Amino acid sequence: MSAFDQPGDGERLDFQLLMQCPVRLFHNRTLLDDTVRWLRENGYHVVDVDASWRDRTQLFDDLSAAFSASCNHRNHHCLAEGMDEAAGEAWGRRLHFALVLRGFDVCVEALRADAEHLLNQVADGAWPAALMGRRRLCLVQSDDPDIVMWPLSPWTPVRNAVEWAGPLPDARPDA
């Protein structure tokens, strides 16, 4: 696999999605479905989950199952390892990796710290993947069009350009 180094790569949807941040926010489910379809048709292994978690145990159990990981301790380190293994298996099959979180606004409302940690794990793994010519991204769907996100590692999550323009409002308490 290579980085985006072919003529026309700058016009690819995945290039546009990854350009500012490896985490992209969607409100419109049809647009998300179209994007997921494009990713699958263009060399991505997509892990697509209902992320409307209100319970921490369910978050860990659902993601462990989605990553085919055994995460008996229900902690973020175990989830990070499971996600890394799922991405590594995809890359071993010459595929890129995308995590899709649907209904994530419910998780943000109920389990904010866990939601932040999960998105930071995705963002933290995207840069090392890119250095190796691999792609790792996350599409976050929110039924709340006014969801407020927070900075992730060195990035700030951005809304997809088709639905919204500009970065999300900063949700830090001191912002």
Gap between the Cα atoms of 30 and 35, Å rounded:
9
Report angle CA 159, 164, 167 to the nearest 5 degrees.
45
Beta bridge partners of 44: 96
Distance CA 108, CA 14 (A): 25
Average pLDDT for consecutive 10-residue bins of the chain (175 residues)?
70 86 93 96 96 95 90 79 89 92 97 94 87 90 90 71 60 48
pLDDT at 175: 45
Sheet strands side by side (includes 158-159): 44-50, 96-102, 136-141, 23-26, 158-159
pTM given for the model = 0.85
Residue whose C-alpha is closest to residue 75's, from 86, 60, 88: 60
pLDDT at 119: 94
Looking at 2.40.50.140, 1.10.286.10, 3.40.50.300, 3.50.50.60, the CATH number of the domain 20-159 comes to 3.40.50.300
- Quote the pLDDT of residue 170: 54
Residue 54: what pLDDT? 97
Domain range summary for the chain, segments of one domain joined by +:
20-159
Alpha-carbon separation of residue 107 from 13, 87, 110, 140, 144 (angstroms): 27, 23, 5, 11, 12
The torsion angle over the Cα atoms of residues 150, 154, 156 and 157, rounded to 10 degrees, is -90
- Tokens 């985006």 sit at which residue? 4
pLDDT at residue 3, rounded to an integer: 67
Q: Residue 108: in which H helix or E strand, if any?
A: helix 104-110
